[in-house]
């Protein structure tokens, strides 16, 4: 290295407060500090540029290549780490293979104690003898060495001992905070068993009790106290290369209502699935809760509640806070960060989506994700019941954001297939809300998002009467009210349908419109059934029925990955239709023979890659993709960009 290079490095270290001359302590403290600056040479190996300091026990500090590059402007230090042809891997999570030697920390105590407490790089007993020497881990671990596979086996054995699902949830959250790669390996390899724990239905109970089980923050809490300084707050998050943000204001958590600040369990859970099922790197994910208060009196009186103790802010105050957040996100993370709205109440969900869909990359999972996964199930169900979408009649119980979102996407797909106007396609779809069938005489009193579904018909007060009057071939529940698909309703559906399609979508399990057993029993084994929460297989009439799960987790991880790998700048409805078609295409003949209209979750990473490729292709087709040139094989490209949580070997 020449003197100019060393001067640049000295300047960089001084600017970071790393000057050895200023680091001397008394004899009781550190005797000296060793500052080590490292950079990759042309062969990709890390070499020491400069070290300073004396003997004695040392603190070793390594500045990241990226930071030095910005500080010095040196050509050899400006290399950007990329993976999969353009998706940045700033933190070295996915570079090369697990055999690629990676130095895990940027600033760390040489004793290695802090390494064991860094969830991004901790491997527990999997550190090899060589690594234990190189990273000052001698004596800090028992002598045994356990592979990641053995650790996984041990943890699954421990998790299965818990009788209470919430205990499993807490154990998994502890693991995520302790050993990130092992957590995701566990989730990927045991997805069907663990999905109900980290997602619905257990996450609902976790949110209800979040104040009591809260241990350490897992995302950003932006409350009314941060108004005017949200950009500054975002900068407090340690990661800079954020690609997906899941945000909630906690007002409508699943079917459980207003849980305020305790809704954080939803963004945390959703982003865990973005990584495990969609391969988005953990460092690129940011969970956010917007806390504007809660109208839940029980929480306001709960001494363990972790949020603002006030009634919900509404109107202008609410809009200003959300607008500041949206603007700050774009300013801090750029145009291509995906913002997923989650569990906002109807009156805000539609307005936020409409307001920001033309200026930001936004996606509402409750409106659009649910719609896409349900449409996929319906497209697949046509293979069992016959006909086209336009030849069927749909009746919804529930006319909120999920119900109207699903209805609109079905109508869009019908219009696409038949070339008929959207207004005509909507006439095949009927909705029932708390006041009965939505019909034109009620139009003046309806909320704006319900008005397109007010068709000509005499008033009908109950779901059973609506079923008998409309004679639908498909019954869809998105009401959030349990046990509303009664025996009379299911029997009525079965009286004029050889194979009635019944989708009980409300979460969690307690809010499901009916159980799988009820649907199969009351229809005498003829129903094609799927639900939002998981149900066990049902034996009826000597045949085993496996209920499908219309779970948003089929769609949003792959959908988000498709937006990321294409560098999409906006979400278009055609992308949602493409995602539905891609998911339906993954249902095999073997699945159909079991009555399934969704593929098994055991193949979810493969499914997500296909959905991502289809969504990315649509983004390129619509001119909304910014990552150029377009890869030749989008499925392979999607797979190459997916995070894999196997352990890395450290120098």
- Positions of E strands within 255-351: 285-291, 338-341
- Please state, in angstroms and rounded to a whole number, the distance separating the CA atoms of residues 533 and 648: 36
Cβ distance 587 to 594 under 8 Å? no
CB proximity list for 549: less than 8 A, separation 6 or greater: 530, 531, 532, 533, 534, 535, 598, 601
Cβ distance 551 to 373 under 8 Å? yes
Active-site pick, 66, 123, 209, 270: 270
The yes-or-no answer on residue 270 being catalytic is: yes
551 assigned binding-site residue = yes
The yes-or-no answer on residue 199 being catalytic is: yes
- Please state, in angstroms and rounded to a whole number, the distance separating the CA atoms of residues 72 and 8: 5
Cβ distance 507 to 531 under 8 Å? no
Active-site pick, 169, 183, 199, 650: 199
- Please state, in angstroms and rounded to a whole number, the distance separating the CA atoms of residues 231 and 244: 17
Strand partners, 539: 544
491 assigned binding-site residue = no
342 assigned binding-site residue = yes
Residue of 231, 252, 329 lying closest to 286 (CA atoms)? 329
343 assigned binding-site residue = yes
| Residue pointed to by tokens 């992308």 | 575
Give the DSSP per-residue string, 143-176. S----HHHHHHHHHHHHTT-SSHHHHHHHHHHHH
Q: Which helix (H) or strand (E) holds 538?
A: strand 538-540
| Residue pointed to by tokens 């593929």 | 599
- Please state, in angstroms and rounded to a whole number, the distance separating the CA atoms of residues 285 and 267: 10
Burial class (CB in 10 A: 0-12, 13-18, 19+), 563: buried
Give the DSSP per-residue string, 483-529. T-S-HHHHHHHHHS-SS-EEEE--SSGGG-SS-HHHHHHHTTT--EE
| Residue pointed to by tokens 């399990």 | 509
- Residues carrying an active site annotation: 199, 270
Residues making up the annotated binding site are 252, 342-343, 366, 507, 551
Q: What residues are designated binding site for a divalent metal cation?
A: 342-343, 366
Residue ranges at the known binding site for (S)-malate: 252, 507, 551
């Amino acid at each position: 290295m020449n003197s100019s290079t060393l001067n640049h490095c000295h300047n960089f270290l001084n600017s970071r407060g790393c000057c050895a001359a200023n680091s001397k302590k008394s004899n009781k403290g550190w005797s000296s500090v060793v500052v080590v600056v490292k950079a990759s040479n042309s062969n990709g190996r890390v070499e020491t540029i400069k070290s300073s300091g004396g003997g004695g026990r040392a603190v070793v500090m390594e500045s990241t290549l990226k930071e030095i590059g910005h500080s010095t402007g040196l050509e050899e230090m400006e290399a950007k780490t990329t993976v999969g042809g353009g998706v940045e891997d700033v933190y070295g999570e996915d570079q090369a293979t697990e055999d690629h030697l990676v130095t895990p920390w940027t600033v760390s105590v040489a004793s290695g104690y802090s390494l064991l407490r860094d969830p991004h790089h901790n491997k527990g007993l999997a550190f090899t003898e060589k690594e234990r020497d190189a990273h000052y881990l001698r004596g800090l671990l028992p002598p045994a060495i356990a592979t990641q596979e053995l650790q996984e086996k041990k943890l699954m054995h421990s998790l299965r001992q818990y009788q209470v699902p919430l205990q499993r949830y807490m154990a998994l959250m502890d693991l995520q905070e302790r050993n990130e790669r092992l957590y995701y390996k566990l989730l990927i390899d045991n997805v069907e068993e663990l999905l109900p724990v980290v997602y619905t239905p257990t996450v609902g109970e976790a949110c209800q009790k979040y104040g009591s089980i809260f241990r350490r923050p897992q995302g950003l809490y932006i409350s009314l106290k941060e108004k005017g300084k949200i950009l500054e707050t975002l900068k407090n998050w340690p990661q800079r290369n954020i690609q997906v943000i899941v945000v909630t204001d906690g007002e409508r958590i699943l079917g459980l209502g207003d849980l305020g600040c305790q809704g954080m369990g939803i963004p945390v859970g959703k982003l865990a699935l973005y990584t495990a099922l969609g391969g988005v790197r953990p460092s690129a994910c940011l969970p956010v809760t917007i806390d504007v208060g809660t109208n839940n009196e029980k929480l306001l009186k709960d001494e363990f509640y972790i949020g603002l103790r006030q009634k919900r802010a509404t109107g202008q105050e609410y809009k200003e806070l959300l607008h500041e957040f949206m603007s700050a996100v774009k300013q801090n993370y750029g145009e291509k960060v995906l913002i997923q709205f989650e569990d906002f109440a109807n009156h805000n969900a539609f307005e936020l989506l409409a307001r920001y869909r033309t200026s930001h990359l936004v996606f509402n999972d409750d409106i659009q994700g649910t719609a896409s996964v349900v449409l996929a199930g319906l497209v697949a169900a046509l293979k069992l019941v016959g006909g086209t979408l336009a030849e069927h009649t749909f009746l919804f119980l529930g006319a909120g954001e999920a119900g109207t979102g699903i209805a609109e996407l079905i109508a869009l797909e019908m219009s696409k297939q038949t070339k008929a106007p959207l207004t005509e396609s909507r006439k095949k779809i009927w909705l029932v809300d708390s006041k009965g069938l939505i019909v034109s005489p009620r139009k003046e009193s309806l909320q704006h998002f319900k008005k397109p579904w007010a068709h000509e018909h005499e008033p009908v007060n109950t779901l059973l009467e609506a079923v008998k009057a409309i004679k639908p071939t498909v019954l869809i529940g998105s009401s959030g009210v349990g046990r509303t698909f009664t025996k009379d309703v299911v029997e009525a559906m079965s009286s004029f349908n050889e194979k009635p399609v019944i989708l009980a979508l409300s979460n969690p399990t307690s809010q499901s419109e009916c159980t799988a057993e009820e649907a199969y029993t009351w229809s005498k084994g003829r129903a094609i059934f799927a639900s939002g929460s998981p149900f066990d297989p049902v034996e009826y009439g000597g045949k085993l029925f496996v209920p499908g799960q219309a779970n948003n987790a089929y769609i949003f991880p792959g959908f988000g990955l498709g937006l990321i790998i294409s560098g999409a700048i906006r979400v278009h409805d055609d992308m949602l239709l493409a995602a539905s078609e891609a998911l339906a295409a993954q249902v095999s003949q073997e699945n159909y023979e079991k009555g399934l209209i969704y593929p098994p979750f055991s193949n979810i990473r493969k499914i997500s890659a296909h959905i991502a490729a289809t969504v990315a292709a649509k983004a390129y087709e619509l001119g909304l993709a910014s990552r150029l040139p377009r890869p030749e094989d989008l499925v392979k490209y999607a797979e190459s960009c997916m995070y894999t949580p196997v352990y890395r070997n450290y120098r």
